[in-house]
Amino acid sequence: MTGRLALAAAAVTALGWPASAAAETTTITMPGKYFAPPRPTLVAGDTVTWRNQDLASHDVRVPGGPFDSGPLGRFGSWSQRIDRPGAYPFLCTVHPFMTGSLSVVAATLAAAPDGVLAGEPLTLSGRAPAGTARLGFEQSVARGPWTRVGDGATPAADGTFATTVPAVEGASYRVTTPAGAGQVVTPRVTARIDVHLQVVRARRHTVVHVHTTPAATGFTATLQLYSRWHFRWRARKHATLDANGGAMFRLPARRRAYARVVLRRAPRGPALVTSGVVKLWSGRPARDPDAIAPRPGEGGHGAAPPGGEDGGGHGGPQP
C-alpha cells in the first residue's frame, strides 16, 4: 500500500498539478468576548480556523449549516473548509452577542492604481481557487449590462492572477470563474485633470505653484522649460503631487523662459497630462512655442520662441 501511495504522489508531481493546491487558511481569534476579524473574505475552497485566546470557553456555530465547533477551551481551535461561495454568519452560542460573518467569493479582485485616468491601463489582480484553469473579466458602465473586457487570464498554481484593461469612467469590473462571478470593484477613474500654474516672482526666486482639478495624488509633476537654442522642451525639476494635488518649483528670479508642467505616473513614464504655457518673467499665459511655425526668414539657433497671449495655464490629457 505504501508503494502505491508513493507511485500516486510521483504521478501527481509528473503531471505538474499545483503543489500548493491546498487553499489558504484564514485565522479568526477570540481574544475576548468578540471575534477578530469579525467579517473576513475568503475564496471558495479556503479554510477558516477559529482560535480561542480568551480565559473563558467559547464555541462557533454557523446557523443553517453543518458547522459546529463544540466547546473550545483556552487555546482551543477549530477549522472548517468552505467550498461554496456565499455569506456564512456565525456566532458563539455561549455568548450570543458574539457574532461575525464569512464572505466566501469565487475570486477576490482589486484594482490599481487608485485615481486612474480614463484610457490609462488599469491592473486587475486577485486570487481564485487553486487549480482554476482560466478566468474572464467583465465591466459594467453606469450600472449597465455586464460585457466582456480584456483577454482573460490564466492564474498561477496558487490561484493568484493579474491582468490589464483600459480604465473607463464610471465602470465597475468583476472576475468570472467556472464557479461563477467573483468580487466587484469600482475604481476611481477621472475623465480629465486640469493643471493650473501660478507664477510668483520675488527678488531672488521665481516660484511656480501647481494645482490640479480635481485634486490628483500619486502623480509626478515635471517642470519643463523651453530651450531657445534647441527649440524643444527640457525637463528641469520633478515633484510628487501632495494630498491636495499640488506642488511647487523654485527657480532663479533672473530666468526668462517659457514653462509648462507635465504629469506622469513616474518621472520617466509617459506624459498623461500637460499644462498650458506660462512666461516665467511675467507669469502671464503664452502660446506653446511648439505649436507656432516660424515666420519666413526667422529661425535658427538663438531665436526666441514667439509668444502670444492666448492659451492658458491649465491643460488636459494628452491626445
So what's the pLDDT on residue 292? 62
pLDDT at 11 over 50: no
What number of other Cβ atoms are within 10 A of residue 150's Cβ?
Answer: 17
In 3D space, the residue among 223, 227, 234, 231 whose CA is nearest the CA of residue 292 turns out to be 231
Sorted by where each starts, the structural domains of the chain and their CATH numbers stand as: 21-104 (2.60.40.420), 110-189 (2.60.40.10), 194-288 (2.60.40.10)
* 4-18, 196-210, 251-265: range with lowest mean pLDDT: 4-18
**CA torsion 233→234→240→246, rounded to 10°?**
-40
Cell of 271: 506624459
Share of the chain above pLDDT 90, in %: 60
So what's the pLDDT on residue 9? 35
Write out pLDDT tens, residues 115-139. Answer: 788 888 999 999 999 889 999 999 9
pLDDT, averaged across the chain: 83
pLDDT at 265 over 90: no
Cell of 195: 493643471
Quote the radius of gyration of the chain (alpha carbons, Å): 29
Write out pLDDT tens, residues 164-182. Answer: 999 999 999 999 999 899 9
User: Which residues, 6+ apart, have CB-to-CB distance to 14 below 8 Å?
Assistant: none
- pTM of this structure: 0.66
Cβ-contact 185, 109 below 8 angstroms: yes
The alpha carbon of 134 is separated from its chain's Cα centroid by a whole number of angstroms, namely: 22
